[in-house]
Amino acid sequence: MKQIRQIKEKSVWDEAVLAENSPFAQSWDWGEILVAEGKNVQRLVLEDGGKILLLAQLVLMNLPFGWKYAFCPKGPVGQNISDETLYVLKNYLQNQGVIFLRLEPNENNSKYLKKTKEVNPRATLILDLKKTEDELLSAMHAKTRYNIRLAQKKNLQIKIEKNLNIFLELMEKTGSRDNFRLHETKHYEAILNSNFCRQITIYSEQVAVVTGIFIGFGETFTYVFGASDHEYRQLMAPYLLQWSAIQIGKNEGYEYYDFFGVAPKINKDGEYEFDIDHQYAGVSRFKHGFGGEYHEAPGTFDLILHNTKYNLYSWLRKLRRLV
């Protein structure tokens, strides 16, 4: 008999999700970061006779009228994400007053999922850290390799330290320059307060010119956030930041380096090409220079639990965007 229960022990949860090669967003520690922000997090396992079918770390979010929706970042994970298992999950969440579940599965085998706007990017580039440093450098674009070596000659200082003020200052500059909205400060603060992440910052004569946040989980070291000061672009510090993080990940025994987000391919076969007008176009060009292998998940979907309420919510969202 299929049943859902909550897991409330870190060791039990992480052992289960690591067995499914789960991304960091389904890890216990990432859930604790969200809890520190004041979010309601549940960690669910769907089992059949003791066999795990799927795992889902959910964030329950409040909506108007006392409604709720649930979000499962980069999940659920498991070998049996199907109409049958999603139906069991649907019934469980309906009993908690949830009107829809937003999810980002690694594969989509269900006809009940409705495609929606991406929350996390569905496409990424991944480096194989089992290669030697020489092999990694050789696989990079010549310009990327040149810029790394140029930055190494600029007398820059690389520091692994946490500094929220530096991160926020550089993020504000980057967001203004590249025209994207930042998360609330408490989100970045909760991340940097956690032992789950590390911050790498590069300085030029005591001035922070680029910084990044990285997370290691399972076999993968992931580049999560990055920000830089455009006034110092001639130093090529962002290239050195990435190469430093790649070296750290490799030296610590991680097998893969995940750039986390790029523009999706416009052609299914052949070389990596993307829409030059995509919001990730600029950063995709930069990341692609490091030679990672392209990976793409299906994207973000909604599993509708209450049609009337979901349609009203969607209509109100559209109206709000027009005002």
What confidence tens digit (pLDDT) does each residue in 12-32 have? 999 999 999 999 999 999 999
What is the DSSP secondary-structure string of 146-201? Answer: HHHHHHHTTT-EEEE---HHHHHHHHHHHHHHHT-PPPPHHHHHHHHTSTTEEEEE
Tokens 């609330």 correspond to: 184
Fold (CATH) for 123-296? Aminopeptidase (3.40.630)
Average confidence score pLDDT of the chain: 95
Question: Strands 51-62, 40-48: parallel, antiparallel or unpaired by DSSP?
Answer: antiparallel
pLDDT on residue 322: 58
What confidence tens digit (pLDDT) does each residue in 266-322 have? 987 888 999 999 999 999 999 999 999 999 999 999 999 999 999 999 998 888 775
Please answer whether residues 32 and 39 qualify as being in contact, where contact means their C-beta atoms are separated by less than 8 angstroms: no
Asked, colleague to colleague, whether 2-120+298-322 and 123-296 share their fold, the answer is yes
Spatial CB neighbours of 146, under 8 Å, sequence gap ≥ 6: none
pLDDT on residue 273: 93
Q: Is residue 323 pLDDT above 70, yes or no? A: no
| Interatomic CA distance for residues 315 and 190, integer angstroms | 33
What confidence tens digit (pLDDT) does each residue in 80-115 have? 788 999 999 999 999 999 999 999 999 888 888 999
What confidence tens digit (pLDDT) does each residue in 199-241 have? 999 999 999 999 999 999 999 999 999 999 999 999 999 999 9
| Interatomic CA distance for residues 20 and 170, integer angstroms | 35
CA separation, residue 172 to residues 69, 179, 207 (Å): 30, 10, 16
Q: Domain spanning 2-120+298-322 has what CATH number?
A: 3.40.630.30
What is the spatial order of strands in the sheet that 157-160 belongs to? Answer: 157-160, 197-204, 207-217, 220-228, 256-258, 123-128, 293-296
* Structural domain boundaries in the chain: 2-120+298-322, 123-296
